[in-house]
Chains A and B, each alone.
Chain A
Amino acid sequence: MARPLHIDPSSATPIWSQIEEQLRRLVTAGSLAPRSAVPSVRDLARELTVNPATVSKAYQRLVAQGLLEVRRGDGTYVAESPPGLEAGERNELLTRAAERMVIEALQAGARKSEVETAVQAAWNRLGREHGADGGDALPEKARTR
């Protein structure tokens, strides 16, 4: 993943929030392994062309949530055992994604069964890449990682 973070300044979501959310997903999804180094504030700010204070704010919030940890004089790392998403948060996330999918599907004139088939196919293809089995318990799996 050359550029795992993508910032959209025009979004209503503040930039620090976007960074926070995307980093959390990377950690939750296991793309950033525990104890692996995350970029320094300065490097990430340069890469994203955003104010370092913004990056710093996102890092601080993630540190407070226990996803990241700061080692003095060394840098910032993913925590040993980062907490996963709470069930409620997960539910909200899924609901929003599902709504977007349903809107797309409605616009495309798809039927419900077609949507379910497409979800199942995507799950089988992408889930494997992410280390999930063909089962239906991805959120639980992801949480345990």
Chain B
Amino acid sequence: MSGETETRAATETNRGIGADEPRTAIAVDGASVRYGRIEAVRQVSLAVEPGSVYALLGRNGAGKSSLVRCLLGQRPLSAGTIRLLGEDPWRHRTRLMERIGVVAERPDLPPHATARALAGFVARVRDRFDRTGFLARLERFGVPAHRPFRSLSRGQQTTAALALALATDPELLVLDDPTLGLDSVARKALYCELIETLAAREVTILVTSHDLAGIERIATHVGILVNGGLAVEEPIDALRDRFCRVSVSAAELARLEATASAPLCRRPTAWGGEEWIVDRQRQPELEGQPDFEGPWSDASGREPMDLEAIFEAVTGGDEVWRPARPIAVPEEPVAKREALR
């Protein structure tokens, strides 16, 4: 399929750009975050190119928030480097925040303040702040500007935070689970606003979310954290192409087990066969196997998976799937280190 080769090629190009720092909106290299003996983030390396929408996914406790806090300069890395727009966020947070808009995981706007008053404060501390644009956007969203934030709903607070972030004309938006606690209408409004923003100007977005169905429509890249390590990092098209779900009949099971390498996940079906989740990068030998071209699969012999299904397969483990083998946390950075040595 032509799309596949193209996205592969795009990935290669991205990696090439990643080495060139100023062209990369976010460059994380070998980042680790330790809390005492617990390592919340392990050797994560990722690159976000300008203009992309990078969805950083992971289950609760996978290290998303820790990584985001480091990205926002709220804590230093234990090891590795982070460059946001070419600068170290821990050391140059103040300068950097002129160019970054943030929506925090929990609404952190001053509870007693009104949006109007807060706009005055932000205008005093920022060089760039579009106050009228901010108030206009609030009005469009139906968020009252004269009521204190604590009397607003969570969705309204998040919207206000997003409006505030957008009013600073950011080059980079960091959205830490903006859809958390939002109903579907509020979520839709939020996505519409992001789409507007993306259409209106060159902005890079890093977003963490649990709303996979929503985020997969706008994300261009997906990174999935598992136990602090980056298990998957792909452009979203390549990701969909990479993973697929196949049904294996009872008759073919034994033969496949002998010839094919083990799938990412597998579970028995009620029909005596098994359902496999296949990582085509790891199991190229399954490509074109006639056994996968049963009547229930599409023409290319596999059932496509949406982001949610991929996420479950990659992160779920025992709870969703009986894993045929444990999901290995990528060892690349370690190997790289050893190579350096």
Contact = CB atoms under 8 A, between A and B. Distances in A.
A and B touch in the complex (CB under 8 A): yes
Interface stretch (B18-26, B149-157, B213-221): B213-221
Given A9-B213, A15-B217, A17-B3, A46 B195 contact: yes
A117 interface: no
Q: How large is the interface on B (under 10, 10 to 19, 20 to 34, 35 or more residues)?
A: 20 to 34
A53 B220 contact: yes
A52 interface: yes
A53 B198 contact: yes
A10 B304 contact: yes
B196 interface: yes
A51 B240 contact: no
Interface stretch (B100-108, B133-141, B294-302): B294-302
B3 A13 contact: yes
Interface in B280-333: 295, 298-300, 302, 304-307, 309
A96 interface: yes
A49 B191 contact: yes
A14 interface: yes
Given A10-B306, A12-B304, A50 B240 contact: no
Q: Chain B: interface secondary structure?
A: helix
B114 interface: no
Q: A9, A54, A103, A106: which has the most chain B beta carbons within 10 Å?
A: A9
Interface in A5-63: 7, 9-17, 41-42, 45-46, 48-54
A52 B198 contact: yes
A49 to B, nearest CB: 5
A89 interface: no
A98 B244 CA distance: 24
B51 interface: yes
B199 interface: yes
11 contacts: A10-B306, A10-B307, A11-B240, A12-B240, A16-B237, A42-B200, A50-B217, A50-B218, A52-B195, A54-B220, A96-B299
Given A9-B306, A14-B237, A50-B195, 17 more contacts: A7-B217, A9-B213, A11-B240, A11-B304, A12-B302, A13-B3, A15-B237, A16-B237, A42-B200, A46-B192, A49-B191, A49-B218, A52-B195, A53-B198, A99-B299, A103-B295, A106-B295
